[in-house]
Amino acid sequence: MLKSFLQIAYLGKTFFVTPLKEFAETIGKKRDNNLRRLLIVQLLAYSVYWSVVEYGSIIYLYMLKLFDGFEPEQFAQLSVAGNVLNMIVIFCVVPVLSGRLKWHETTCLTLINALNSTSYFAATFPTAIWPGMYLVEVLNASSFSQYSQARSLFSRCVEPDEVGKIFSAVAIITAVMPLASNIAMRKLYSATIDTYPQAFMLYTGALFVLGTALNFYLWTNRSVMMGLADKNGEKESEDGIEKPKENGSYGTSTQSIALEDIANGAEVERKGR
């Protein structure tokens, strides 16, 4: 009995107490050039990304109720098409924008959030799955890419030895935000199903309007984050450690980032069903 209790206590400390402590230390640390404020804004934006995971299950119920002749197979085909479009963006478009054109992460994230918001607002209009909802998926084709861009941006606002700590905060957001947002979205859909069932789409679109505004604010301060990344790169080089790549990630290949994005997108879809 005592052994089991100690094991539970150890797991609680490892997976809950320690990440929370590291989260508080990282956020509370004073930083130059308002980097602490920029870091908090990034965490708020990242919370938006994980506040919409219930959308996938509710949109299925919505189509089942409102679309004449709707079949579950059609929804499966729509989901596959959306995943394929996201993979095309991850493997073909994002490397060009970030790698060759040198777009800053905030530029990509502002564009992605604006497209996401537009797609959710546009979803209120179709009355059939084809072609309307497929066009919505085209607008939403960059949604998986926001995760790697956000993680890369986090690394621009902290020291190299704090990257693990800030990712602990990211893990907490990933676990906690869906719990609260799922309840809110389901209650909203239940309350409006007989009057305006598209309300949950407007709610989701509004969240990404907020995400767009937060990332645009970060974009206006991108020079500060780029300066810290350059400073860290020089420090890493002096210590004989690999210099961060221009997109802000430390030795992370495009392929591994793309696979992480796909995994995060699949996790969002899984939690939303």
Write out the two tokens for 253: 């290949």
Spatial CA neighbour of 273 closest among 119, 72, 132, 113: 72
**What pLDDT was estimated at residue 80?**
95
**Domain boundary assignment for the chain:** 2-271
Cβ–Cβ under 8 Å, residues 8 and 148: no
How far is Cα 130 from Cα 67, in angstroms, rounded to an integer?
10
Please determine, for residue 106, whether its predicted confidence score (pLDDT) is greater than 60.
yes
Contacts of 160 (CB under 8 A, 6+ apart): 232, 235, 236, 241, 250
* CA distance linking residue 92 with residue 87, whole number of Å: 8
Q: Note the pLDDT tens digit of each residue in 145-161.
A: 999 899 989 888 888 88
Q: Cβ(178)–Cβ(271) under 8 Å?
A: yes
Which of 112, 107, 153 minimizes the C-alpha distance to 249? 153
Question: What token pair was written down for 225?
Answer: 């984050």
pLDDT per residue over 64-84, tens digit each?
999 988 888 999 999 999 999
Q: What is the pLDDT of residue 259?
A: 54
Distance in angstroms (rounded) separating the CA atoms of residues 217 and 229: 18
Across the range 183-205, mean pLDDT stands at 94
8 A C-beta contact, residue 229 and residue 248: yes
Average pLDDT over residues 82-111: 93
Q: What is the pTM of this model?
A: 0.79
CATH class of 2-271: mainly alpha
Q: Is the pLDDT of residue 201 over 80?
A: yes
Reported as half-sphere exposure (CB side, CA atoms, 13 A), residue 144 has a value of 27
The 3-state DSSP class for residue 42 equals helix
